[in-house]
Structure formats: C-alpha cells, structure tokens
C-alpha cells in the first residue's frame, strides 16, 4: 500500500513497513479494473494528504496556544503540579541522555546539529553552550520565540545557534547530526515515517530520535488523557513500534548504535541513535 494507507488510524493489525512506506502510486499495478482502482487510489491519496495537512495544522495551532502555555511551564522551572513535575523530570532525563551521547564522541565543537521540533530550546541551548553549531527550528512560532528569549538569557555568545519557524519536513541543508525529540508522538506512523525519512536525508552521519513506544500505549493514552482533560486541550498521541521505526531507519541506510529509554510514572520515551552504516 502506498501513502493512501495512512488514512485513518494505524492499528496493531495495520502496521506499515519501511518497504511499503515510500512507494509512489506509479509502483502500483492497476490490473483489469484499472480505472476504478486508480480513481479510488487518487481519492485515498488526497485524503491522506488532507490528513497530513490537518494533523500538522492541529499540532501547530495547539503549540501556538494551550500547548504552548502548558509545555513552556513543564519545560520551565516554575511551579507545576505533580504530574507535570513527573513529566518534567522524565523529559530532562531524555535530554540528559542525548547530551551525554553527543558529548561522549568528543567532537561537539566541530559538528553541526539540526534540532528539529526544538520546543523551547531544552536541548538546543545546552548543545550550543557546549560549542556545537546548532540549527534549531519548530513549527510553532511561539515555541521558537520562547527558545530565542531563553537563548539570549542563558548564552553569553549566541552566534552558533540559529532559530527558525519551520515544519521539519521543509528543513534543508546537511548536518552532521539531526535530532528530533518527543515530536513523533504527535503523528501517526505514516506521517512519522515520512518525517524520519526526511530527517535522515539531512543527516550526514547520525540521527537521534525519540518516540513513545507502543508497549506503553494504553498507559500513555490514559495518562495524557488525565493530564489534558477535554478535547480542546490536547492533540492526539500516537505510539510507535520500535521495529517499524528501525525498518524505516535501515531503509534510509542507517543502523542503530545506541538506545535509551526514559520511563517515569507519566512519561515514556524510547531514544534511538542511528548512524550511517
Ligand atoms: N524537542 C523539544 C520539544 C518537544 S515538544 C524537546 O524535547 O524539548 C514537541 C515540539 O514539536 C513542539 O514544540 C511542536 O511545536 C513541535 N512540532 C510538532 N510538529 C512539528 C513539525 N511538523 N515540524 C516541526 N516541529 C514540530
């Protein structure tokens, strides 16, 4: 199935694989009932496009409004409730793991890093502080503005960090390392797969991503539900199977080098470091 397979929600029995994911419709053999099938496929692919556009639109609006206030608070230092504090601690562990990995290689000052979906700069700012050349971007103007403010406050010299408002699928250029943390939870596998493929194409050497692992799906749903009661306050949360993500990475010529897992009571994030094989 091509991209049309992304319509609707991915269920356990409806997983896409890396092989099926990037295929274009021209790969599909239309057979005898060609016209009908082709029309249906075009219709489905249009729906697929609409779904992608809508998911991004909803996520962008969320992170420019309620989501911005909520996550700025969680990722900040002020007082928060117990659940938010637990998430804050979990998220910081994810950030710390990634910083440790990147520092371990001992070449931070020589490499360029793209932080896609940078939020309020929780990762970008310490990486820039440690000497890396950082390109930070996010689909939400508010998040980017906040990250820029924080950078000004924290960094004595902010000349090695740039911020831009950008959907990660429109990022161009080449970077030694591309990092995308806690963004894929907002997208179903079909869209997350496209995003990973795009990010992989920007990475000369390494890609680090995190996602909500499928194993914890029910608890995440439940816990996110508790955290954001009411439909207007939340976006959909999607868990991903590690095997699916690895297949996509391998399909792009990467292999897994390090893995990490953060789990607190309310926060779960699987971290993969993939390098060009
Ligand atoms: N990576 C950051 C922020 C995680 S919150 C951190 O770990 O601290 C998720 C962020 O992803 C939000 O700031 C949201 O605006 C951003 N985002 C969601 N979809 C995006 C997309 N398609 N392109 C770029 N950023 C996106």
Residue 146 Cα, ligand 1 centroid: separation in angstroms?
13
pLDDT band at 5 (very low <50, low <70, confident <90, very high): very low
Residue 183 Cα, ligand 1 centroid: separation in angstroms?
5
pLDDT at 51: 56
Residue 235 pLDDT > 50, yes or no?
A: yes
pLDDT at 47: 45
Q: What average pLDDT is seen over the chain?
A: 82
User: Residue 170, Cβ neighbours under 10 Å: how many?
Assistant: 10
Alpha helices (H) along 13-168: 34-63, 66-74, 82-104, 124-129, 141-154
pLDDT at 226: 57
Q: For residue 60, which atom of ligand 1 is closest to its CA?
A: 15
pLDDT band at 217 (very low <50, low <70, confident <90, very high): low
- Domains defined along the chain, listed by start: 3-60 (no CATH), 68-276 (3.40.50.150)
Give the residue-averaged pLDDT of 196-218: 91
The reported pTM is 0.81
The pLDDT tens digits for 132-173 are: 999 999 999 999 999 999 999 999 999 999 999 999 999 999
**116: β partners:** 137
Packing angle, helices 66-74 and 141-154, rounded to 10 = 30
pLDDT at 34: 47
pLDDT band at 236 (very low <50, low <70, confident <90, very high): confident
CA separation for the pair 75, 77 (Å, rounded): 7
CA separation for the pair 256, 63 (Å, rounded): 31
Residue 237 pLDDT > 50, yes or no?
A: yes
Residues with CB under 6 A from ligand 1: 56, 59, 63, 71, 75, 116-119, 122-123, 138-140, 143, 167-168, 181-183, 186
Tokens describing residue 39: 């029309």
pLDDT at 15: 27
pLDDT at 216: 57
pLDDT at 277: 83
Residue 231 pLDDT > 80, yes or no?
A: no
pLDDT at 230: 55
Residue 247 pLDDT > 60, yes or no?
A: yes
The pLDDT tens digits for 22-47 are: 222 222 233 344 444 444 444 444 44
Q: How big is the CA angle at 177 (ends 176 and 182), to the nearest 5 degrees?
A: 165
Share of the chain above pLDDT 70, in %: 74
Residue 140 Cα, ligand 1 centroid: separation in angstroms?
8
Query: Looking up tokens 């397979």, which residue turns up?
Result: 5
Q: Which residue has the higher pLDDT, 3 or 63?
A: 63
CA separation for the pair 268, 272 (Å, rounded): 13
pLDDT at 261: 97
pLDDT at 14: 27
Query: Looking up tokens 């539900």, which residue turns up?
Result: 225
**208: β partners:** 179, 273
Q: Strands, E, within the chain: which ranges?
A: 112-116, 133-138, 161-165, 175-180, 203-211, 254-263, 268-276
pLDDT at 223: 61
Give the residue-averaged pLDDT of 265-272: 96
Q: Which of the listed residues 65, 88, 119 should we mutate to test ligand 1's pocket, taking the one with most ligand atoms within 8 A of CB?
A: 119
């Amino acid at each position: 199935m091509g991209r049309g397979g992304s319509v609707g929600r991915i269920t356990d029995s409806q997983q896409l694989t890396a092989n099926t994911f990037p295929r274009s419709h021209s790969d599909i053999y239309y057979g005898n009932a060609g016209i009908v099938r082709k029309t249906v496929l075009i219709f489905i692919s249009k729906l697929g496009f609409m779904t992608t556009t809508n998911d991004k639109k909803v996520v962008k609006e969320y992170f420019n409004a309620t989501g911005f206030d909520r996550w700025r608070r969680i990722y900040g230092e002020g007082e928060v409730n117990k659940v938010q504090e637990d998430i804050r601690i979990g998220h910081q562990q994810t950030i710390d793991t990634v910083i440790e990995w990147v520092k371990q290689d001992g070449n931070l000052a020589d490499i360029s890093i793209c932080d896609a979906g940078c939020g309020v700069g929780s990762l970008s700012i310490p990486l820039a502080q440690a000497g890396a050349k950082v390109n930070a971007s996010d689909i939400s103007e508010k998040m980017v503005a906040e990250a820029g403010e924080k950078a000004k406050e924290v960094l004595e010299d902010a000349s090695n960090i740039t911020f831009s408002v950008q959907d990660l699928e429109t990022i161009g250029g080449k970077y030694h390392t591309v990092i995308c943390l806690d963004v894929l939870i907002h997208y179903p596998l079909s869209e997350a797969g496209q995003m990973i493929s795009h990010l992989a194409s920007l990475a000369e050497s390494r890609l680090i991503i995190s996602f909500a692992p499928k194993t914890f799906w029910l608890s995440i749903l439940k816990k996110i539900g508790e955290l954001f009661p009411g439909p207007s306050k939340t976006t959909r949360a999607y868990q991903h199977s590690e095997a699916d993500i690895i297949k996509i990475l391998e399909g792009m010529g990467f292999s897994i080098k390090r893995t990490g897992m953060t789990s607190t009571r309310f926060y779960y994030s699987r971290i993969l470091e993939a390098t060009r094989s």
